[in-house]
Structure 1
Amino acid sequence: MSTYLGLDLGTSSLKALLIDEDQAVIGSVSVPLTVERPHFGWSEQNPQSWIVACEAAMQELHAKHGQEFAEIAGVGLSGHMHGATVLGADGTPLRPCILWNDTRSHEEAKGLDDAEARAITGNIVFPGFTAPKLAWMRKHEPRLFDLARCVLLPKDYLRLWLTGEAVSEMSDAAGTSWLDTGRRDWSERMLERTGLTREHMPSLVEGTEASGELRPILAEKFGLKPGVIVAGGGGDNAASACGVGVAAPGTGFLSLGTSGVLFTATAGYDPVPETALHTFCHAIPGLWHQMGVTLSAAGCMDWLSKLLKEEPAALTGALGETIAEPGRPIFLPYLSGERTPHNDADIRGVLTGIESDTSREAMTRAVLEGVAYSMRDCLDAAGEKPKPQRLIAVGAGSRSAYWLQLMATVLETEIALPAAGDFGAAFGAARLGITAATGADPKSVIKEPPVARTFEPVADKIDAFRAAHQRYKALYPAIKQAMAG
């Protein structure tokens, strides 16, 4: 029986997940990584640390599951997006990788972000994207910039070590500001604007396609058969979508992690960059996805937990499962600025409408409602397009039944909670490994996991939450003006 390996290169750890051909998890390993912050706003990693972590993870899986590990037929890759791994002529990095959460290139991003860039890429040019990082290097590290021969995204540097091939895939490449996202190909014009050419770029494949084979020296080292296929894979959010079965237009997932993500798959390319909604290629051929991001979701409950000195689960558990009417207090969850729909790094959160008898339960409801309204903003950022009829809930916040019932009502859509299991980016990467190695139809492999519970909108409370959302939206311009004054 063949097995498949998913490798997810996260910012804080590399995860390796081994599954069988029935997609049952055999084992997983996580190896920690560190981030270096040499200056304010900088965030870097040594690319060699990714290889060291990958070797350690594979060795541990091999030690624990030798027989199953030896049957690996395909490998899929996932990774944090937007990082700039700049290689010289000998294929080694010229400097540490500049990560997605590095903000040093904010001025370069402003210079690149115009009507032309948005028309080509379908997105605002954010400081975290890859192209402005190279524009920063061109200005501040000209000697290194002139030595650059290839620019790879983080997971694609790991691929280079695995296969010897410089290859990327559509979902990750769409977050560089160099991809013509509608055409699914590099834009020579956007490359030209940062002093690069197509020769500096890796070749492109779809996430479900083979990008190469595991190098013989590595196959021998890890006791694997020759010809192990390495799939194109996906950026972390696209791979996560594959993990929870978002493989058809109109499907999506709601992630309530430290930040919040509303991800929906679309059949066509129809960007709306002015709302700070990301429009990227999916890891599945013929699909795109739109993604709204709120920078503080479950992170808001962590903030309240510290303030009230009570665990988030205890705060939400005290509410029960039956949602109340919208409360008088309104919370703007902009603890770290906001992405969708405001693209405002300077705005900050606020809690309004508190009274002398405002209880911790009322404050908890206000925080949960504020994040729900921010996710509604992400949903509405797509405009008049059809809304998803069902969302899969993932992340730490999905443990709260009250919050999921509230989300279903505010978003006016069914929310499904998967049964216990590992359906994250590493699992999605392994599924992409299956499709590349077997040639199977992606939709036959990338299916929704078993569902433990579904939450329907509470019909008699929809109007009340619509009205409360409008009050919430009116606060942003008022707070913006107050901060400016």
Structure 2
Amino acid sequence: MKQQDLVVSVDCSTTGVKCVIWDSAGQLVGDGRSTLDLSIPSIGYGEQDPRQWWSAMCIAVTEAVRNLDTQRIAAICVTHQRESFACLDDFGEPIRPAMLWLDARATEEVESAGTQRVHDVTGKPPNTTPAFYKLLWLQKHEPETLRQTRHVVDVHGYLVHKMTDQWRTSVASADPLGLVNLNTADYDDELVAQVGLHRNQLSTLFPPGTVLGELRASAGSALGLPAGLRVVAGAGDGQAAGLGAGIIEPGRAYLNLGTGLVAGTYSDIYAPNSAYRALTGPIAGTFTFESFIGAGTYVINWFIDTFVQQSPDAAGSTESIEQRLEREAVQVAPGSGGLLVVPYWNGALTPYWDHNARGIILGLTGIHSRAHIYRAVLEGLAYELRLCFDRVELGLSDPITVVVAMGGGSQSALWCQILADVLRRPIVISGQQESTCLGAGMLAAAGAGLYPSVRAACSAMTSLGERFDPNEELSQTYDRFYTVYQEIYPSVRPVFTALKNAMT
């Protein structure tokens, strides 16, 4: 019998499905991708056909294993977009399109049902992201949908059923729906009843890293994998990314520098706080405290699209636009000549939770060039992260001493150094940019018995890259500007409401 030393990880995100095959040392040996359609039928809505989750997964996995000996594969594990859910009938078919995490239609339900108890039980400050509020919206606006619903599933639960024919999911996958009591790691009967459901309509919960079942023959044929393969409980994409970055002990945080900025810290203790959202961790019995800035590289791309791409000097250069801007911004002194950017282009999430908030560029004068503005954007995102970290540490037993960065933004040496100087913490680049898939791979490796525990799998499969240490002199400069930065949003918050009213 051949040695089974490979694992399959699948990341079913909002816009596509990615599959990565890992060896037991955490090295990528195969990958595949497929896109997903995103439907926005009305402003603030976000929907998807859940059947595409499976069809896209089949394409991605088949591509990833095409040139591999599949008999070497020991297990498969799924990570995924969180909070998104589907309502299914008795045959497992969707009754309506899945409602995604970004769907913000349930604003009235948040205002009426976002109580202190809901926050204390679930760890989720009131906002439109959790499925709890969208299920309340369905109760009011589509009662027939819930009457016909036999199963409500998260993305992980849907794909596990497709693979095993079992209605099972990971607690670290279902938790973001907002129906799980983080004190018990089980569904909260009061919240389940409040949305008009019963326990038998929800997938059975298992700890991440647990074997949920075996791959049935027809599913294996569709995926290009052998029947009987172990299917292991995964975790939401944020928790999986933290695991893939090696965040398995206090004092460490991960930072995904993507379209939005997601930062997560490890905790052994559950402590709800409005400064972050608390989640079940990727290791059973642990928790992830997560900060989220809705506009990260989104603001950078907005700046480039709006002000730079049509610039007369954009043509004929061998440099990319980002490289040219970074070269220019390096010449600007820290503080950007008194220019401060508050990056609320997509509203304010942690720690303020204000969907009326808007982006601010403060301090413009005639001396400021595009390089000043570009650097101020990078610094503003760093200030906002420091604000989030300062609040998150209030719920932690140990301060954050090192930050592991990943995502497209981590390729900018300038930004990484700014982050280190502003946060006053070392920034270490993750050795594997596919950290989310790697986290799922670690869970698969532990579930398959390649390692005795998830922690052991993480220790063996994690690698780190370049390190950026804070410069004390520059940190002192940024401290002065950060003091001013903290005053901006509280000072103008009432203006955002007045602006909204003026636009209606």
Q: TM-score, normalised by structure 2?
A: 0.91
Q: SS of the counterpart of 1:233? A: strand
- Counterpart position of 2:412: 400
Residue 391 of structure 1: how far off its partner (Å):
0.9
Unaligned 5+ runs, structure 1: none
Residue 222 of structure 1: how far off its partner (Å):
5.2
Within 2, Cα distance between the matches of 1:479 and 1:325?
Answer: 21
1:417 aligns with 2:419: no
Within 2, Cα distance between the matches of 1:79 and 1:338?
Answer: 24
- Counterpart position of 1:390: 402
Residue 60 of structure 1: how far off its partner (Å):
2.2
Within 1, Cα distance between the matches of 2:329 and 2:212?
Answer: 49
Within 2, Cα distance between the matches of 1:423 and 1:199?
Answer: 35
Contact residue 54 and residue 159 of structure 2 kept, 8 A: yes
1:229 aligns with 2:230: yes
Sort the Cα spacing of 1:143 and 1:74 in 2 relative to 1 into closer, same or farther, 3 A. Answer: same
- Counterpart position of 1:307: 306
Q: SS of the counterpart of 2:133? A: helix
Matches within 5 A, 1:457-476: 457-476=470-489
Q: Percent identity?
A: 25
- Counterpart position of 1:436: 447
Sort the Cα spacing of 1:418 and 1:34 in 2 relative to 1 into closer, same or farther, 3 A. Answer: same
- Counterpart position of 1:377: 387
Within 2, Cα distance between the matches of 1:251 and 1:330?
Answer: 28
Report how many aligned residue pairs link the two structures: 480
Q: SS of the counterpart of 1:430? A: helix
Within 1, Cα distance between the matches of 2:323 and 2:492?
Answer: 30
Matches within 5 A, 1:7-406: 7-62=10-65, 64-67=66-69, 69-219=70-220, 224-273=225-274, 275=275, 277-310=276-309, 311-320=321-330, 324-325=334-335, 327-384=337-394, 385=396, 386-406=398-418
Taking only aligned residues, the RMSD between alpha carbons, in angstroms, comes to 1.9
Contact residue 151 and residue 200 of structure 1 kept, 8 A: yes
Contact residue 16 and residue 30 of structure 1 kept, 8 A: yes
Sort the Cα spacing of 1:455 and 1:201 in 2 relative to 1 into closer, same or farther, 3 A. Answer: same
Contact residue 84 and residue 134 of structure 1 kept, 8 A: no
Contact residue 210 and residue 230 of structure 1 kept, 8 A: yes
Within 1, Cα distance between the matches of 2:404 and 2:176?
Answer: 23
Residue 322 of structure 1: how far off its partner (Å):
9.7
Within 1, Cα distance between the matches of 2:221 and 2:366?
Answer: 70
- Bigger CA drift: 213-222 or 85-94? 213-222
Q: SS of the counterpart of 1:381? A: helix
Q: TM-score, normalised by structure 1?
A: 0.94
Within 2, Cα distance between the matches of 1:152 and 1:398?
Answer: 34
- Bigger CA drift: 407-416 or 318-327? 318-327
Contact residue 356 and residue 497 of structure 2 kept, 8 A: no
Contact residue 335 and residue 481 of structure 2 kept, 8 A: no
Unaligned 5+ runs, structure 2: 310-320, 499-504
Aligned amino acid, residue 109 of structure 2? E
Contact residue 78 and residue 440 of structure 2 kept, 8 A: yes
Residue 321 of structure 1: how far off its partner (Å):
9.2
Q: SS of the counterpart of 1:219? A: helix
- Bigger CA drift: 300-309 or 138-147? 300-309
- Bigger CA drift: 131-140 or 463-472? 463-472
Within 2, Cα distance between the matches of 1:57 and 1:482?
Answer: 47
- Counterpart position of 2:318: none
1:455 aligns with 2:456: no
Q: Deviations over 1:272-304 (max 9, x none)?
A: 12x2x1100111112101011111111111122
Contact residue 33 and residue 59 of structure 2 kept, 8 A: no
